[in-house]
Amino acid sequence: MKPETLGFFEKVYDVARSIPYGRVTSYGAIAKYLGATKSARIVGYAMNNSSGKDVPAHRVVNRKGLLTGKHHFEGTNLMQQLLENEGAKIMDNQIQNFEALFWDPSKEL
DNA sequence: TGGTTGACTAAGT
DNA sequence: CACTTAGCCAACC
């Protein structure tokens, strides 16, 4: 590997990459797993820089299951399309069966 | 060195 | 129940 940035971001990417297919998680859950529960914003900030990485950022949403970061994807509804492709039910930019698809790295990883 | 930013979250109104 | 305020912390300029 090439740990160029060796920072909080890399950790976030690593966890995000560990998200199973058809599952989603929240920024806060990732932050908590990294020991920075209150740094959920930093996780989102990291995802913003995840462009070009093989990080499934579409599987990461806010704690309400709302696709807050869909605007950062290429298409208008690309994020939603990807999630629906994995079996998620999305309505009004929000994952309906969010609780069922939720994946907590602190518990399942 | 210091101030701004942001794909968040919890609590208050 | 929907909007507002405040706290949080790492990266960037």
Distance (Å, whole) CA A15 – CA A109: 9
- A7 nearest nucleotide via C1' and CA: C10
Residue A106 lies in a domain: no
Supply the range of the domain harboring residue A30: 3-101
> Tell me: the pLDDT tens digits for A8-60?
999 999 999 999 999 999 999 999 999 999 999 999 999 999 988 999 999 99
Whether this model's pTM surpasses 0.95: no
- Cβ of residue A65 lies below 7 Å from strand B: no
- CATH number of the domain enclosing A11: 1.10.10.10
Q: Which amino acid is at A67?
A: L
In 3D space, the residue among A19, A39, A33 whose CA is nearest the CA of residue A82 turns out to be A19
Question: A52 in a domain, yes or no?
Answer: yes
- Note the CA–C1' distance, A90 to B7, in angstroms: 17
With distances taken from each CA to the C1' atom of nucleotide B6, the closest residue turns out to be A45
